[in-house]
Amino acid sequence: MYVGRFAPTPSGPLHFGSIVTAIGSYCDAKFNGGRWIIRIDDLDEERNVSGADRNILHTLECLGLYWDDQPIYQSQQKSYYEDWRDVLKKKYDIYPCSCSRKTLREHSVIKGGDWIYSGHCKTHFSKQKPIRNHRLNLRQPCTITINDIGQGPITEDLCVTSGDFVVFKADGTPSYHLASVLDDYRLGISHVVRGRDLLRSSIRQAELQRVLGQLTPSFLHLPLVTNEKGQKLSKQNKAVPINLKVPQKVIINALKFLSQNPPSELSSASSEEILNWASEHWDRSVFQSKD
């Protein structure tokens, strides 16, 4: 059974880049006779903007992107995460880390903008200092391969590219990776269609799934929409919200961006008709030729 999901962060309105991801994951699910679920990633309270979740759902409805089941809010899954935190502490190779940002800097190597944690607290944990995070003790080497539907196998050694990553904070809040994996497990997500900016997250999540004995979903990483400076569209770099007065145009533009070649007759069709066409003619092969 195909179950897909779209997981926006309620930090602002959806921009064209997030619409492309939503339409890509929707069409991939519908083409394959699957269900499409919305998950609101609202664990990071500092990033949450009041009302943004309702605004996102309203935008999806205006575009005719109707979801199955009730949207899942991560902030409402805390007791489920706590159960898993206890299991992780007992059964898995997790260790406490007391590194402050300053110590992290001292004990990490920076590669391509990422801090590669050295595993300092595995051997030098100080009980005098407060625990800040709990990290997953990676096996060495930690080579992991995921199969992307478009790009084929992608291999990374997490010991080289990430180091022991955080699975939950001292207060028990799961990291983005852990929460995502636990939700995918509970919801039975079989396919994750997301932007290529999350490719490296997918690899970390696949490692967590391996450790926890959970199945890794199939992945399709979509090309990213960038602005004229070549930066990924994001709420941080002030991407403009989409124009909901012309939903058909937004959908057609997203399909064109995804190389789905909607026929010109569709420009006068309704959103529903366009999405029906796109769901029936969804073509994954176009993602194979792109880099």
Question: Which range touches Zn ion (CB under 5 A), out of 81-89, 90-98, 195-203, 240-248?
Answer: 90-98
Rounded CA separation 249/269 (Å): 10
User: What's the closest the beta carbon of residue 118 comes to Zn ion, in angstroms?
Assistant: 9
One residue of 14, 97, 239, 252 binding Zn ion per CB under 5 A? 97
Stretch that binds Zn ion, among 4-12, 94-102, 191-199, 263-271 (CB under 5 A): 94-102
Q: Which of 57, 63, 94, 99 binds Zn ion (CB under 5 A)?
A: 99
Closest distance to Zn ion from the beta carbon of 268 (Å): 59
Total of chain residues touching Zn ion, rule CB under 5 A? 4
Using CB under 5 A, which of the segments 96-104, 155-163, 168-176, 220-228 binds Zn ion?
A: 96-104
Least gap, CB of 96 to Zn ion (angstroms): 8
Q: Is 121 in the site for Zn ion (CB under 5 A)?
A: yes
**Footprint of Zn ion on this chain (CB under 5 A)?**
97, 99, 120-121
